[in-house]
Amino acid sequence: MSDDEHLPVPRPRPRWWLRAAVALITAGALAVGGYWLYDSVFVRCADGVREQGPRGECVGVTDGSYVFDAALRDISGQILAENRRVEKSGKPWVSVAYLQPMAPGPDDKGRDIIRRELEGAYLAQRELNDPRRGGRGDSPQIKLLLANSGAGSEQWRPLVDQLKEMKDGDRHLVAVAGLGQSRQTTQDAIDALRAAGIPMMGSTVTADAINRPGQTGFWRVAPPNADQASAVVRHLRTLQKRAGQRPYRVTTIKDRSEQDTYSASLNRGFAAAAARQGLKLTDMGLAYSSADRATANAFSALADRVCTDPPDAVYFAGRGRALRGFIEAMAAAGRRCPTSVYTGDDVVGVFDVPESHEARQAFQKVWERSRLTVHHTVLAHPDQWLTTYPGDGNPLPEFRDAYRKDIHRTVGELSDGQAIMGHDALLTLGVAIRAGADRQGSGPVTTSSTRQMLFLIGGSKPVYGVSGPIRFDEQGDPEGKPLALVELKPNGSYTFRQVVWP
């Protein structure tokens, strides 16, 4: 055989399966790396916080290391410091997520209101974690997480999915507090958390339909709208009786939109209480729809009708921002008839708009020209319990001192009740959490044990909250809890008038 006549070297058979595997692994690595790069650069705002929705809002859960809004920077830092102290303490701990639209949209609570609510929750966290502050033990320790549900709580779904993953795992999530405002998205979030078996404690959620008959898992420290409306009806009925021969005329202005569960339940609650307690109503056909953004014309027409035949009192079954529009309409020349307006706790929204100091002063003058006097039920007020708690059992003085010393703000900010309600929501959960542990505080605490202990808060063993003794009925609503009736002044101050009962 010559050198040129080499035998051909046999080629190995193509290993298509190996090539396919290598290609898949390579593609997978590129995909994972690409997803990580995309998530890190374009989606991830911080650990546990991702961009969601058409507005790219940063939605998710943080320990305070991520600041959702500039107004929350200080309180987020304080919560973060306490959470890190808990981690280093060596003691068992669990976490509670405080759910709110943290970077509010145009129809949400204002930034200062959200801030005050979180400040109250932080003070409850400190009270629960330090036995020198509250005498409620110190184990398990409580980590407070901030959970942003997006403007209008529209991004509740991805947030709830995240909270469900944290349930009873290494994040030790055992409950959710806060819950935002009474609206359909809030109801959807509550229903999803209820189905997941995560107990909740609402702070200022008051719509009656939030707690449907036969459902459990949601408790709240705020009296529902039916109680607020009933308390005002009782007060107006007293005024009607005092009037003697002169009729004391009461009418209502209602929001026809069913999309806002707060306004709808406030209207239904007032009508039902009036019928039950014999309050005589004068039907003037006064209504508007908050679903229509062009409400200014509607309020102008309502103001004309009110001043054509002025009633003694008007019950405004709507939100505070809507009431602001009515006040502005009543200030126009040719109206300005003296009228008393009564409404619910959302009246804080009257001043809950971003505006300059000059704009705030201008609105104050508008309100003064309108000659409207605004009274409303408030969920908590510092003067409410000065004489009601027996002996020296009133927790308000310690809370007021802590707010001034730890938050470094004036106690005047407590007048709208938001900080107090945030405090009581977390405090009540903390009491249930501690009851679910053994006497040494080292027993396992879960969503189930927390839920079981919440069922036991009631009767002769209430939680002594700053807003008053807290005990729950079978539905999870506070039982027999009075409210404060206050007057909201044009300058934004609150004047306590009296305690009213449902």
Enter the pTM of the model.
0.87
Q: Are residues 286 and 356 in the same domain?
A: yes
Q: Are residues 152 and 277 in the same domain?
A: no
Task: Taking residues 233-257, report their average pLDDT.
Answer: 91
Q: Are residues 210 and 97 in the same domain?
A: yes
pLDDT tens digits along 135-147: 788 999 999 999 9
Tell me the HSE value of 56 on the side-chain side, using a 13 A CA sphere: 5
Q: For residue 276, what is the domain's CATH number?
A: 3.40.50.2300
Question: Is the pLDDT assigned to residue 279 strictly greater than 90?
Answer: yes
Sequential DSSP letters for 302-357: HHHHHHHS--SEEEEES-HHHHHHHHHHHTSTT----EEEEE-GGGGGGG-S---H
The answer as to whether 12 is a domain residue is no
The answer as to whether 43 is a domain residue is no
pLDDT of residue 20: 55
Q: Are residues 147 and 188 in the same domain?
A: yes
CB 122 within 8 A of CB 146: no
- Indicate the number of domains in the chain: 2
Q: Are residues 130 and 97 in the same domain?
A: yes
Print the domain residue range for 276. 226-378+486-500
For residue 356 the two structure tokens come to 């300059």
Question: Is the pLDDT assigned to residue 379 strictly greater than 70?
Answer: yes
Helix (H, G, I), strand (E, B) or coil at 10: coil
For residue 325 the two structure tokens come to 């529009």
How does residue 3 score in pLDDT terms, banded at 50, 70 and 90?
Answer: very low
How does residue 16 score in pLDDT terms, banded at 50, 70 and 90?
Answer: low
Q: Are residues 336 and 282 in the same domain?
A: yes
Q: Are residues 240 and 325 in the same domain?
A: yes
pLDDT of residue 35: 43
pLDDT of residue 95: 98
- The residue with tokens 């993953």 is 165
Question: Is the pLDDT assigned to residue 100 strictly greater than 70?
Answer: yes
CB 82 within 8 A of CB 88: no
Question: Is the pLDDT assigned to residue 5 strictly greater than 50?
Answer: no
Question: Is the pLDDT assigned to residue 453 strictly greater than 90?
Answer: yes
Question: Is the pLDDT assigned to residue 4 strictly greater than 90?
Answer: no
Question: Is the pLDDT assigned to residue 29 strictly greater than 80?
Answer: no
Q: Are residues 364 and 414 in the same domain?
A: no
pLDDT tens digits along 380-404: 988 887 666 766 678 989 999 999 9
pLDDT of residue 439: 65
The answer as to whether 29 is a domain residue is no
Q: Are residues 219 and 232 in the same domain?
A: no
Question: Is the pLDDT assigned to residue 45 strictly greater than 90?
Answer: yes
Task: Give the C-alpha separation, 121 to 208, whole Å.
Answer: 24
pLDDT tens digits along 351-372: 877 778 899 999 999 999 999 9
Q: Are residues 232 and 351 in the same domain?
A: yes
Q: Are residues 394 and 369 in the same domain?
A: no
Average pLDDT for the chain:
89
Q: Are residues 56 and 199 in the same domain?
A: yes
For residue 104 the two structure tokens come to 């509010």
Among the listed ranges 331-335, 351-355, 461-465, which one has the minimum average pLDDT value?
A: 351-355
pLDDT of residue 391: 64
The answer as to whether 11 is a domain residue is no
